[in-house]
Amino acid sequence: MSAEDCTHDCSTCGEDCAERSGIVKEELFPGASVKKVYAVVSGKGGVGKSLVTSLMASEMQRRGYQAAVLDADITGPSIPKAFGINQHATATEDYLFPNYSTSGIQVMSTNLIIENQTDPVVWRGPVIAGVVTQFWNQVMWQDVDFMFVDMPPGTGDVPLTVFQSLPVDGIIIVTSPQDLVSMIVEKAVNMAAMLNIPVFGIVENMSYFKCPDCGKEHHIFGDSKVDEVAAKFQIPNVAKMPIDSVYATMVDAGEVEHIPAEFLAPIADALESVEFPTE
C-alpha cells in the first residue's frame, strides 16, 4: 500500500509501517515546553538548511514568539556560530539548559557540549541518533512556541530518529534551482509521507541574484523551478531566497538573527495561521 492510500486504520492493513509499529514519541523533560516542531530538511547537502533554519527561527522571534533551534546535524553543527554563541551549555545532574542568542532564541547543538568547537565528532550512527533524542528529552526548553530542527542531509538515521521520536508538525524542504531538484525533493516528500508527516513549505535557496546597480534579477543557477516542483508535490507554501554576500558576512559574524528575511514571509505567515495545541 502506498502512503497516499493509507487510511490510518491499522486493523484493516497488514503493512509493517511506522504507524502500525506503535512508535511512541519521546516526552520532554518535566517542566519543559515546546508547542510546535518543524524539521528543515533536504535530500542533499550544501543547499542552506542551517541558514534557512536560523532565519525561520529569527523571523518567528521577531514576530513575538519564543523560537528555538535543535541542531540535529550532529557531525556538522553550524547553528551556534551563525548566532554568535560561543559559551558551553550549562547543566544540572538531570538536564541541560539551552543557550540563548542575542534576541532570546533558544539553541542546543553538539558544539555547545564538546570541549572545542573544532573537535571532530567521530561517533557511530546509533550514538548520533541517541544524542538527537537527548537534545529533545534532556534539555529544559522554556515555553517554546516554534522549534526548528536543523537536519543533516538525506534520509538516514537522524531524520528517521527525529520523525519517529519527536512530535514533528511538519517539514520545510530546502532546495536549489538545478535540474536534479525534483528527484531530491521527491525523496524528502516520500519519506515524510511514509511517516505521515505533512510537507509544510519549500524554500528555493540561491534562487536569483539581484544586481545592486540596475536591480535586475539574474538566475545564476538556472531558471527557478520551485513553483513547478511545489505544484507537482502539492507543497502549499513557497519562498525564493536570493544570493546575497551580506548573508554570508553576517553569518560568519554570528549575526544571522539580524538578516532581514522578507522572502520567508509566506512560510512564516502560514506558521502563524496554525493553531497551537491546547494545554
In the prediction, which pLDDT does 21 show? 47
Task: Report pLDDT for 243.
Answer: 92
Tell me, what's the pLDDT at 158?
A: 85
Which triple of cell numbers denotes residue 108? 542546543
Helix (H, G, I), strand (E, B) or coil at 68: strand
Looking only at the bridges linking them, the beta strands covering 99-100 and 199-204 are unpaired
Residue 8, pLDDT score: 41
Answer for the pair 156, 79: CB distance below 8 angstroms, yes or no: no
**Domain locations in the chain?**
25-270
For residue 133, give the 3-state DSSP assignment.
Answer: helix
The residues facing 70 across adjacent strands are 108, 149
The residue behind cell 553538539 is: 110
Neighbours of 134 (CB within 10 A): 16
Average pLDDT per run of 10 along the chain, which is 279 residues long? 44 47 79 97 83 97 97 89 94 95 96 79 80 95 97 79 92 84 82 88 92 88 87 92 93 95 94 83
- Which residue, among 192, 184, 215, has the nearest Cα to 204 in the 3D structure? 184
What global pTM score does this model have?
0.88
- C-beta of residue 155 within 8 angstroms of C-beta of residue 184: no
Q: What are the CA-CA distances from residue 20 to residues 10, 17, 130, 169 (Å)?
A: 6, 5, 23, 19
| Domain 25-270: top CATH class | alpha beta
- Name the residue among 75, 131, 69 with its Cα closest to residue 103: 69
Residues 6+ apart with CB under 8 A from 6: 13, 17, 19, 196
In angstroms, the CA 33 to CA 206 distance is 35
First to last CA, the chain: 35
pLDDT value of residue 267: 95
Burial 135-148 (b: 16+ CB within 10 A, else e): bbbbbbbbebbbbb
C-alpha cell at 33: 515546553
Q: What residues contact 1, with CB distance under 8 A and at least 6 apart?
A: 13, 15
